[in-house]
Amino acid sequence: MSQPLLEVHALRKSYGALTVTDDVSLTVHPGQIHAIIGPNGAGKTTLISQLSGQLQPDGGRIVYDGETITHLDMAGRVRRGLARSFQVTRILPELTVLENVAIAVQARSGSSFRFWRPAAREGALNEAAMACLAEVGLEPQAARPGRALSHGEKRQLEIAIALATNPRLLLLDEPLAGTGPEEAEILVALMGRLKSRVTMMLIEHDMSAVFQLADWVSVLVYGQIIAGGTVDSIRSHPRVRAAYLGEEEGAG
């Protein structure tokens, strides 16, 4: 097996007496979709926020592509090829779809956000942004304002924005949240296509999507990884079924 792209060693984060991530350790290998599943309140978003640099851990170590990045800020991680999407979409609704992506392309080049408007009219920026939109299926929507997109299309746009930073590892925080069946199907197909280009860590409650996409699944419960393995091994793991899968299946 290839060397890990991401290694997490005994990561800890607490808020007062509440320990949200409790000695979390895992590895993500290049070309994988590594899913993190677990019930609400398990610490999944807190974990991904620490990996992206949005939150600093209280202890442990994060190694990305052989480099320790535990105390590196979010911008520094993006420059090294680690990007994330958010549980709640964070597009700029008054700007066009193309402009939303052009900002990310410009940021990748090291330019200031303050100068995005003239730069966004440059051919090279537009060409790179349009390529990202084409990759997620939003090229026909390029001239529309972000606010005019459907919820699922906004999710696609957020992925296009992340792709514009040229990531090697993409952290996806519940990309299917709030989507209908048709929108979810489009997003699952998109993630399947992107797998050949970018390694992904996926937090998702939709178990059918997880089992369709993931190469490896880690199960987080009360801040601890209680199991990790292939989809088949996780499906049949008695502790996982008792702690999570049984609860989900029984909920209807």
What residue ranges in 102-221 does DSSP mark as E strands? 169-173, 199-203, 216-221
Question: Would strands 67-68 and 216-221 be described as parallel, antiparallel, or unpaired?
Answer: unpaired
DSSP code string of 182-242: HHHHHHHHHHHHHTTT-EEEEE-S-HHHHHHH-SEEEEEETTEEEEEE-HHHHHT-HHHII
Q: Which of helix, strand or coil describes residue 101?
A: helix
pLDDT digits (tens, 9 = 90+) for 1-33: 579 999 999 999 999 999 999 999 999 999 999
Within the chain, all domains assigned CATH 3.40.50.300 are found at: 1-81+167-252
pLDDT digits (tens, 9 = 90+) for 33-72: 999 999 888 899 999 999 999 999 999 999 999 999 999 9
Q: Tell me what pLDDT residue 119 has.
A: 47
| 209: Cα separation from own chain's centroid | 14
CA-closest candidate to residue 224, choices 205, 211, 243: 243
d(CA 9, CA 25): 5
Q: Tell me what pLDDT residue 44 has.
A: 93
Q: Which of helix, strand or coil describes residue 179?
A: coil
pLDDT digits (tens, 9 = 90+) for 76-134: 999 999 998 865 567 888 999 999 999 888 877 655 444 445 544 567 788 999 999 99
d(CA 29, CA 7): 9
pLDDT digits (tens, 9 = 90+) for 152-196: 999 999 999 999 999 999 999 999 998 999 999 999 999 999 999
d(CA 174, CA 177): 5
- Find tokens 């330019």 and name the residue: 111
d(CA 101, CA 151): 17
Residue 29 β-bridge partners: none
- Find tokens 């008695």 and name the residue: 238
Q: Tell me what pLDDT residue 145 has.
A: 96
Q: Tell me what pLDDT residue 30 has.
A: 95
Predicted TM-score (pTM) above 0.75:
yes
Question: Would strands 169-173 and 199-203 be described as parallel, antiparallel, or unpaired?
Answer: parallel
DSSP category for residue 56: -
**Fold adopted by 1-81+167-252:** Rossmann fold (3.40.50)
**10 Rama sector, left if φ>0, alpha if ψ -120 to 50, beta otherwise:** left
